[in-house]
Chains A and B, each alone.
Chain A
Amino acid sequence: MSDTLLAALDSNWSAADPAALTPDHAARLAELEQLDPALVALYRRGSEVLAGAADANTLRDRHTALLGRERGVITLGLAEMPRLSVDERKVRGKALNLVKRWLTEVHDARREAIALEREAADALDVTLPGRRGFTGRPHVLSQVRDDLLDLFHGLGFSIYTSPEVELDEYNFEKLNFGPDHPARDAHDTYFAGPDVVLRTHTSPGWVRAMEERKPPLRLVFPGRVYRAEAVDASHMDQFHQIDGLFVDRNVSMADLKATLNTFARAIYRADLPTRIIPIYFPFVEPGVQMDVQCVTCSGTGHIATAEGGKRCPVCKGTKWVEVLGAGMVHPNVFRAVGIDPEIYTGFAFGMGLERIAMGRYGIPEIRLFLENDLRFLEQF
Chain B
Amino acid sequence: MKLPISWLRQWVEYDATPQQVAEALTTRGFYVEGVELHGRAYPGIVVARVLEANKHPNADKLKLCRVDAGGAEPLRIVCGAPNVAAGMTVPLATLGTVMPNGLEIKRAKIRGEESEGMLCSARELMLSEDHSGILELTELFAGRELKIGSPVDAYFPEPDAVLEVEVPFNRPDGMGVLGLAREVKAALGGRWTVRAQALLGERSKAADTFDLACEDAEGCPSYLAQVVEHVTVGPSPAWLVRALEAMGQRSINNIVDLTNLVLFEFGQPLHAFDLAKLDGPAIRVRRASAGEKFTTLDGKERELTAEVLVIADAKKTVAIAGVMGGERSEVSASTTDILLECAWFQPARVRRASKALGLSTDASKRYERGVDPAIGSAAAARFLNLLLELCPGAKLGASKRVHAEPQPRTLTLRPSRATRLVGLPFAIDRCEELLRALEFGVTREGVMLKVHVPTWRLDCTLEDDLVEEIARSNGYDRIPEAPLHTGGAYATRTPRERVVRRAREAMLARGLNEAWCGSLVSESEATAAAEALGDEPKLVRLVNPMSREGEVLRPNLLPGLLRACAHNLRQGAPAVRLFEVGAGVLDRGGRLPEERLMLVALVTGQRWKHSHDTTGALKDGAYDVRGTVDFLDAKGLWEAWLSEMRVDSPQWRAYAAPGWKPGASAEVAVGASRIAWAGTLGQSLLRPYEIEVPVHVFVALLDPLVEAASATPRAKVPGRFPSVRRDLAFFVPRATTHARLHECLGGAAGEVLRSIELFDVYEGPGTPEGMKSLAYAMELQHAERTLAESEVQEIQARMVAAVARDCGGQLRER
B672 at the interface (CB under 8 A from A): no
Contact residues of A: prevailing secondary structure:
mixed
Is the CB–CB distance between B29 and A255 below 8 Å?
no
Is the CB–CB distance between A216 and B512 below 8 Å?
no
A261 at the interface (CB under 8 A from B): yes
Instruction: List the one stretch of B329-337, B527-535, B568-576, B757-765 in contact with chain A.
Output: B568-576
A23 at the interface (CB under 8 A from B): no
Interface size for A (C-beta < 8 A) is: 94
Is the CB–CB distance between A164 and B462 below 8 Å?
no
In-complex Cβ contact of B467 among A131, A249, A286, A317 (8 A) = A286
Residue of B nearest to A251 (CB): B487
Distance between Cα atoms of A128 and B504 in the complex (Å): 32
Residue of A nearest to B582 (CB): A224
Residue of B nearest to A180 (CB): B348
Is the CB–CB distance between B34 and A316 below 8 Å?
yes
Q: List residues of chain B with CB within 8 A of the CB of A128.
A: 612, 614
Chain A residues within 8 Å of B, Cβ to Cβ: 128-139, 141-142, 152-159, 163-167, 180, 182-183, 186, 190-193, 196, 198, 215-218, 224, 226, 228-231, 237-238, 246, 248-255, 257-259, 261-262, 275-280, 282, 285-289, 307, 316-318, 328, 330-332, 341, 345, 369-375, 377-378
In-complex Cβ contact of A134 among B477, B484, B577, B595 (8 A) = B577
Cβ of B96 to closest chain A Cβ, rounded Å = 10
Answer whether A166 and B509 are a contact pair too, CB < 8 Å, given A216-B486, A250-B420, A372-B564.
no
Is the CB–CB distance between B608 and A280 below 8 Å?
no
Name, among B32, B511, B513, the residue most crowded by chain A CB atoms within 10 Å (CB to CB).
B513
In-complex Cβ contact of A218 among B465, B489, B493 (8 A) = B489
Cβ of B66 to closest chain A Cβ, rounded Å = 30
Can you give 12 A-B contacts (C-beta < 8 A)? Answer: A136-B511, A190-B542, A216-B488, A224-B519, A226-B519, A228-B546, A254-B422, A275-B476, A276-B476, A285-B468, A307-B104, A374-B571
Is the CB–CB distance between B476 and A277 below 8 Å?
yes
Q: List residues of chain B with CB within 8 A of the CB of A259.
A: 484
Q: List residues of chain B with CB within 8 A of the CB of A277.
A: 26-27, 29, 31, 476
B700 at the interface (CB under 8 A from A): no
B593 at the interface (CB under 8 A from A): yes
Is the CB–CB distance between A372 and B515 below 8 Å?
yes
Residue of A nearest to B509 (CB): A136
Residue of A nearest to B552 (CB): A192
What 1/0 flags go to B773-792 for Cβ under 8 Å of A? 00000000000000000000
Q: List residues of chain A with CB within 8 A of the CB of B26.
A: 277, 318
Name, among A139, A154, A278, the residue most crowded by chain B CB atoms within 10 Å (CB to CB).
A278
Chain B residues within 8 Å of A, Cβ to Cβ: 26-29, 31-35, 98, 104, 168-171, 347-348, 351-352, 365, 368-369, 420-424, 462, 464-465, 467-468, 471-472, 476-477, 479-494, 497, 504, 507-520, 540-546, 550, 553, 560, 563-564, 567-568, 571, 573, 575-579, 583, 585, 591-593, 595, 608-612, 614, 625
Is the CB–CB distance between A191 and B546 below 8 Å?
no
Cβ of B103 to closest chain A Cβ, rounded Å = 12
Is the CB–CB distance between B464 and A192 below 8 Å?
no
Is the CB–CB distance between A280 and B543 below 8 Å?
no
Q: List residues of chain A with CB within 8 A of the CB of B98.
A: 307
Q: List residues of chain B with CB within 8 A of the CB of A153.
A: 491, 493
Distance between Cα atoms of A286 and B462 in the complex (Å): 11
Is the CB–CB distance between A279 and B553 below 8 Å?
no
Is the CB–CB distance between A279 and B494 below 8 Å?
no
In-complex Cβ contact of B169 among A136, A164, A186, A216 (8 A) = A186
Cβ of A62 to closest chain B Cβ, rounded Å = 32
Distance between Cα atoms of A253 and B575 in the complex (Å): 52
Q: List residues of chain B with CB within 8 A of the CB of A254.
A: 422-424, 479-482
Answer whether A180 and B421 are a contact pair too, CB < 8 Å, given A136-B510, A246-B487, A370-B516.
no
Residue of A nearest to B564 (CB): A372
Q: List residues of chain B with CB within 8 A of the CB of A285.
A: 462, 464-465, 467-468
Is the CB–CB distance between B546 and A231 below 8 Å?
yes
Is the CB–CB distance between B513 and A378 below 8 Å?
yes
Q: List residues of chain A with CB within 8 A of the CB of B508.
A: 136-138
Is the CB–CB distance between A164 and B583 below 8 Å?
yes
Q: List residues of chain A with CB within 8 A of the CB of B610.
A: 129-132
Distance between Cα atoms of A276 and B497 in the complex (Å): 33
Distance between Cα atoms of A377 and B573 in the complex (Å): 13
Q: Which 7 A-B pairs have the closest CB atoms?
A: A254-B423, A134-B511, A252-B423, A278-B29, A248-B487, A280-B168, A218-B489
Distance between Cα atoms of A193 and B540 in the complex (Å): 9
Answer whether A237 and B568 are a contact pair too, CB < 8 Å, given A253-B423, A253-B471, A277-B31.
no
Is the CB–CB distance between B169 and A182 below 8 Å?
yes
Q: List residues of chain A with CB within 8 A of the CB of B512.
A: 134, 136
Answer whether A280 and B595 are a contact pair too, CB < 8 Å, given A164-B583, A262-B484, A377-B514.
no
Is the CB–CB distance between B34 and A258 below 8 Å?
no
Is the CB–CB distance between B614 and A372 below 8 Å?
no
Distance between Cα atoms of A72 and B104 in the complex (Å): 100
Distance between Cα atoms of A328 and B467 in the complex (Å): 11
Cβ of B546 to closest chain A Cβ, rounded Å = 6
Cβ of A365 to closest chain B Cβ, rounded Å = 15
Distance between Cα atoms of A137 and B492 in the complex (Å): 26
Is the CB–CB distance between A228 and B544 below 8 Å?
yes
Additional A-B contacts beyond A215-B487, A216-B486, A286-B471 (9; CB < 8 A): A131-B625, A133-B511, A164-B585, A218-B489, A248-B487, A257-B479, A277-B27, A372-B516, A374-B571
Q: List residues of chain B with CB within 8 A of the CB of A332.
A: 462
Name, among A158, A166, A196, A372, the residue most crowded by chain B CB atoms within 10 Å (CB to CB).
A372
Is the CB–CB distance between B514 and A136 below 8 Å?
yes
Residue of B nearest to A375 (CB): B571
Answer whether A286 and B516 are a contact pair too, CB < 8 Å, given A132-B609, A192-B542.
no
Is the CB–CB distance between A276 and B479 below 8 Å?
yes
Distance between Cα atoms of A249 and B513 in the complex (Å): 45
Q: List residues of chain A with CB within 8 A of the CB of B491.
A: 152-158, 218
Answer whether A237 and B546 are a contact pair too, CB < 8 Å, given A134-B512, A153-B491.
yes
In-complex Cβ contact of B520 among A135, A238, A280, A289 (8 A) = A238
Q: List residues of chain A with CB within 8 A of the CB of B27.
A: 275, 277-278
Distance between Cα atoms of A215 and B488 in the complex (Å): 10
In-complex Cβ contact of B543 among A154, A193, A370 (8 A) = A193
Cβ of A378 to closest chain B Cβ, rounded Å = 7
